[in-house]
Amino acid sequence: MVFIHSTTSVTPAVDTSLKRSHVDFSRHLSLEARARLPNPIKSIWKVAQVKPGTINMGNGDPHHTLYPICEMNFVVPSIDEHDPVQSWRSGTGEQDVIASFKDEPCTLSLRTAFAYGAGAGLKLVRDTLADLNDRIHSPPNHTVSLSLGNADALTKCFRLLGDPGDSFLCEEFTFSAMTNAALPLGIKWAPIRMDKDGLIPSDLERTLSEWNEATQGKRPHVLYTIPCSQNPTGSTLSLERRQEIYRIAHDWDIVILEDDPYYFLQFDLDVNQSTIQEYGYTRAMADVLPRSFLSMDYDGRVMRLDSFSKIVAPGMRLGWVTSNNFLAEKLDMLTDSSSQHPHGMGQAFIAELFGSGGWGADGFMKWISSLCNEYQRRRDLFMDVFRQKVASSGFATAEVPKSGMFVWIRINLEHHARFSSSQTPTAPGGPTTNTADLMDELFKKLLDSGLVLMPASTFAIVDRTGRTSASHIGDRVNFFRATFVGTDETIRDGLTIFGRTIEEFFCF
């Protein structure tokens, strides 16, 4: 296992009195996880790795002399450019070639990268990402395991922690592809209300305190949350909300699944240039990036999921999970008996990228800083065009996102001539407006006009807990999720269609 310890002085984000001497995390395991035995072949393989020079005649690996690959070259942007992202996009910047070899010296030999490995991933790569974690989050005594991206990690976490009939907590609008993955496992979702600033801590505490196990089943013990650029709403939790949510998780013994693929895409950062010059980009960026749940995790109750999908390439399918040693061991056991270790090509690339012949951690963070500037430029363009082409009519409004890729657009249906707020709900606590019908109509009109926006209903989590709320989620699906990661032309043309179509929808 890879342990990372704090090497920088970071002021705790939560009251350190929350720290416990011991938390029994075994109670959070699913029946499947408790019944799972270690993969015996992998157990022997791990023992064999400990003693150098051991002759291993027990594995079924093809010998490296039979690999039909001896070298891989990766052409990457030169990080010596002042603005590497813009130089790369325009084709005016220098390029670097970093290489992985099977028979020549390099950071991670292809002999190792292409062989069978343990579910946690190769130690060199885990050490590299543990070091990055330490520089950014400074979590106490946490363990890093690799994953095939956040989707792979999250579905495994569901299996690790959930039994049929369990209820997990999540935001009332969330990434349905992931929450749907829990449903075949028999896990139900208990949605927590949101506002423009994300998950509302008081509603989280209310849900837990009012939970009736006699009618609703076992009280939830897991919270799934996307704290930065929440998908789909684009909201980013403030430090104060994170502190309060962590306190609630501590009080109610909740495991937090911190799914944070957009963490490194932050906007309006006041990066200190003198810090860059004196300490480098990693320190300067760490000073201004949001405090994660992991950074305040004195209990060890956070399982943080990071990914290279949004900052390198989605098809890499490589990410990392940071958690306490107990849960990491159980997660690795699941991987060893299911998907097996992450792919060697991705691990080789990351090893060389962060190695002495590549960017290194500081060069990687310089790329991140430049990437933030480019995404911020696209966000600003989107919001400028939105104000001109859409918001000027008064039929739609949107908050300016602080991070990520998405804008959550509110359709002001209360101004529509056919909007009704006096419908009789078909079930207790059901919708009392025709919001869903009008939004479905608008979605189809946009589609006919050549524009696809994701409707809020796609992401709405239906309340299955039996509790009623002041406003049914069906009355609050008057939103679209839009992305600003496309080209400038896509942004301008798409919002022009949107503005024209929404005026037609409201006025005719």
Q: Are residues 236 and 320 in the same domain?
A: yes
Could you tell me if 167 and 161 are in contact, meaning their C-beta atoms sit under 8 angstroms apart? no
Question: In the Cβ-directed half-sphere of 366, how many Cα atoms lie within 13 Å?
Answer: 23
Closest CA to 260 of 296, 222, 304: 304
pLDDT value, residue 19:
53
What is the token pair recorded at 431?
Answer: 């919708």
Cα 115 from Cα 64, distance rounded (Å): 8
Contact, 351 vs 108, CB < 8 A?
yes
Question: Would residue 151 count as lying in a domain?
Answer: yes
Q: Do the beta carbons of residue 209 and residue 467 sit within 8 Å? A: no
CATH number for the domain spanning 315: value is 3.40.640.10
Question: Could you tell me the CATH number of the domain that includes residue 448?
Answer: 3.90.1150.10
What local confidence, expressed as pLDDT, does residue 394 receive? 95
Cβ-based neighbour number of residue 328 at 10 Å? 21
SS (H, E, C) 8-40: CCCCCCCCHHHCCCCCCHHHHCCHHHHHCCCCH
What is the DSSP code (8-state) at residue 183? G
Q: Are 359 and 383 found together in one domain?
A: no
Cα–Cα distance between 207 and 199 in angstroms, integer?
Answer: 12
pLDDT score for 114: 87
Residues in the chain: 508
The pairing of strands 95-101 and 71-77 is: antiparallel
Contact 99/108 with Cβ under 8 angstroms?
Answer: no
Query: Can you spell out the DSSP letters for 388-424?
Result: HHTGGGTSEEEPPPSBSSEEEEEE-GGGSTT--S-PP
Task: Looking at the structure, tell me whether residues 359 and 398 fall in a common domain.
Answer: no
Mark whether 299 and 443 lie in a shared domain. no
Domain contains 363:
yes
Domain membership of residue 121 (yes or no) is yes
User: 366 and 392 in one domain?
Assistant: no
pLDDT at 336: 85
Tens digit of pLDDT at every position of the chain (508 positions): 343 433 343 444 445 445 555 788 888 888 887 877 666 555 555 555 656 666 665 556 677 787 899 999 999 999 999 999 999 999 999 999 999 999 999 999 999 888 877 778 899 999 999 999 999 999 988 999 999 888 899 999 999 999 999 999 999 999 998 999 999 999 999 999 999 999 999 999 999 999 999 999 999 999 999 999 999 999 999 999 999 999 999 999 999 999 999 999 999 999 999 999 999 999 999 999 999 999 999 999 999 999 999 999 988 889 999 999 999 999 999 988 888 878 888 999 999 999 999 999 999 999 999 999 999 999 999 999 999 999 999 999 999 999 999 999 999 999 999 999 877 776 666 788 999 999 999 999 999 999 999 999 999 997 654 443 446 888 999 999 999 999 999 999 999 999 999 999 999 7
CB half-sphere exposure, 304, CA atoms < 13 A? 26
Indicate whether 353 and 430 sit together in one domain.
no
pLDDT on residue 10: 41
SS3 143: strand
Provide Rg for the chain, Cα atoms.
24
Q: Which residues contact 24 (CB under 8 A, 6 or more apart)?
A: none
Q: pLDDT at position 287, please?
A: 96
Please report, for residues 106, 124, 183, the alpha-carbon distance to residue 99 in angstroms, rounded to integers and kept in the order given. Answer: 7, 16, 43
Q: Does 109 share its domain with 258?
A: yes
Write down which residue in 311, 344, 370 finishes a domain.
370
221 assigned to some structural domain: yes
Whether residue 216 is contained in a domain is answered as yes
CA 176/CA 164 separation, integer angstroms: 19
Give me the helices (H) in 183-272, please: 201-209, 213-216, 239-252
120 and 249 inside one domain: yes
* Separation CA 491–CA 497 (nearest Å): 10
**Residue 355 near residue 380 (C-beta atoms within 8 A):** no
Q: Do 256 and 109 belong together in one domain?
A: yes
Residue 14 lies in a domain: no
Distances (CA, A) of 354 to 294, 309, 316, 397: 22, 16, 16, 42
CB 297 within 8 A of CB 23: no
Residue 501 tokens read as: 């179509």
| Residue at a domain's end among 341, 370, 399 | 370
Q: The domain containing residue 450 runs over which residues?
A: 372-507
In a domain, 20, yes or no: no
Kindly state whether residue 41 falls inside one of the protein's structural domains: no
Does one domain contain both 333 and 432?
no
Instruction: Give the relative orientation of helices 281-288 and 123-136 as an angle to the nearest 10 degrees.
Output: 60
The CB-side HSE value for 112 (13 A sphere, CA atoms) comes to 18
Looking at residue 250, its amino acid is H
Question: Do residue 87 and residue 216 come from a single domain?
Answer: yes
Residue 464: the pLDDT is 57
- Total domain count for the chain? 2
- Domain boundary residue among 350, 370, 390? 370
Burial category of 37 from C-beta neighbours within 10 Å (exposed 0-12, middle 13-18, buried 19 and up): exposed
Same domain, 205 and 257: yes
* pTM attached to this predicted model: 0.89
